[in-house]
Structure 1
Amino acid sequence: MCNLYTQTSSVDAIRQVVKELGLPLRFPEGAPNLQPRDICITDPAPILRAAGDALGAELIVRRWSWPGPGGKPVYNYRSDGREFGSGRCLILADGFYEFTAPSDPKQKRKDRWLFADPSGGLLGIAGLVRTAPEIGEAFTMLTTEPGPDVAPYHSRQVALLDRAAWTSWLDGSVPARELIRPLPGGSLTVSPSLRT
């Protein structure tokens, strides 16, 4: 499952994407100072959520994962057969990583693969925001069956939403089962990723 992704887009780039969707973008906690980086479990990261009573979206920064039973972080959550009437969010990513057994048996570390939009655009991952007493609001990524681009590397994948579905996901106007599905082949590029 996805336990690492990359987010390098600026607030201005995110604002432009949201503007193209026809949504006003609000910053209820002020415009965040986003630094290009890989996002690990428990890191704070930017997400979009519906703007409550107003039309539009809010850009906020929240922790990736909340503590589950036994304290393990809930960073991925199966979407299969579930409906999400509240708490929907959109996780903004430039790419996400999956890991496979090393191609060289002498190598100790797993191979890392980066999945990204072929045009270099932002990916929107369906997510949920929950409040945990210990940490406040946090988000998790929804997962689904893998599409043809991811299936050779992993048996599950994050729930990527087509850009045309972002607004419907955020405002809850369309059931999750109609929006969350594997994307067709060629929707993602995959490349080996060097560890730094």
Structure 2
Amino acid sequence: MTTARRRSVGSAVCGRYTNSPTRAQLAGAFPQVAALAGDVGFERFNIAPTDEVIALRAGHDGCEATRLHWGLIPHWAGDRRIASRLLNARSETVTSKPAFRELVQRAASRCLVLADGYYEWLRPESPRAPRQPMHYALTDGRPFAFAGLWTTWRDPAGTPVHTCTILTTAANAIAAPVHDRMPVILADAARWAAWLDPALDGDEIWPLLAPLPDELLRVAPANPLVNSVRNEGPQLLELPADEPMLAAPTLF
């Protein structure tokens, strides 16, 4: 078996994810999505930066479903280019970064980014060898939410653009062999409600940003076709039978 190394601090985490349920399936966990117009964001197996994604946020009449562009553009940004650098926000420093510090303190600027898994890439020791995509999901396969932040930016024409970022935390024991970071996964309704609760101030949200317990996360090799953002479909979740597997011995 080819040896591999995990990705180090500073490399991107959660740069691709899945939201594979149908509208009806996702509405079983998040009823608000039933009212969304159009099909964008449902049955997605290769969500990439700048894509429109499905999220929940606090609204005038409670929690509402919406679509946001993944990659935060702060309201003060001069153009869109910063979005590619703000896909993720480190939970440990989110209160000190200009792009995030005001957002995290306001429940109205927090959001739930809906998903059912995310990808990470296992790097081989040899820089010339291909990376192996790995797919992480809850052990029971349920949809969940990433803890997110959102804001509105206006383009030069004054058109509002709604964008979001996904918070990250230290990797748990399942994710750590591949990367030392993982997205903040909120796995149950109590945590979804708490993240959007206006009664929770900045200090009270920190327990929600802890790594997902090890026993709730599973990992499996994915199809290398996921490497291209142009590819979509359920086949991306399965390693072809004739495809050689690159993996660290500690993963399986």
Instruction: Report the Cα distance in structure 2 between the residues aligned to 1:106 and 1:145, rounded to whole angstroms.
Output: 25
* Residues 84-120 of structure 1: per-residue CA shift (max 9 Å, x gap): 32411111111101112126x4854322111001111
**Structure with higher strand content:** 1
The separation in 1 between residues aligned to 2:206 and 2:127, in whole angstroms, is 43
Pairing partner for 2:55 from 43, 47, 57: 47
1:19-30 mapped onto 2 (5 Å cutoff): 19=31, 25=32, 30=36
Q: Which AA in structure 1 matches 2:183?
A: V
Whether contact under 8 Å (1:27, 1:60) holds in the other structure is no
Q: Which amino acid aligns with 1:172?
A: P
Q: Output one character per residue of 1:15-58: Cα deviation in whole Å (capped at 9) or x when no partner.
A: 22135xxxxx2777x433134331000111111112x2223x21
Q: Structure 2: which 5+ runs fail to align? A: 1-12, 96-103, 226-252
Identity %: 28
Aligned position for 2:105: 84
**TM-score with structure 2 length normalisation?**
0.67
Quote the residue 1:22 is aligned against. Answer: none
Q: Which has the larger radius of gyration?
A: 2
CA gap 1:194/1:184 in 2 versus in 1, 3 angstroms:
same
**Larger proportion of helix:** 2
For the 8 Å contact 2:72–2:163, the answer to whether it is kept is yes
Amino acid at match of 2:137: A
User: Which consecutive residues of structure 1, in runs of 5 or more, have no partner in the other structure?
Assistant: 20-24
The residue aligned with 1:126 is: 147
State the alpha-carbon separation in 1 of the partners of residues 133 and 33 from structure 2: 35
Shift of 1:149: 1.5
Alpha-carbon distance in 2 for matches of 1:152, 1:31: 40
Aligned partners of 1:32 and 1:61 also within 8 Å? no
How do 1:181-192 residues align onto structure 2 when only pairs under 5 Å count?
A: 181-192=210-221
**Aligned pairs, number:** 187
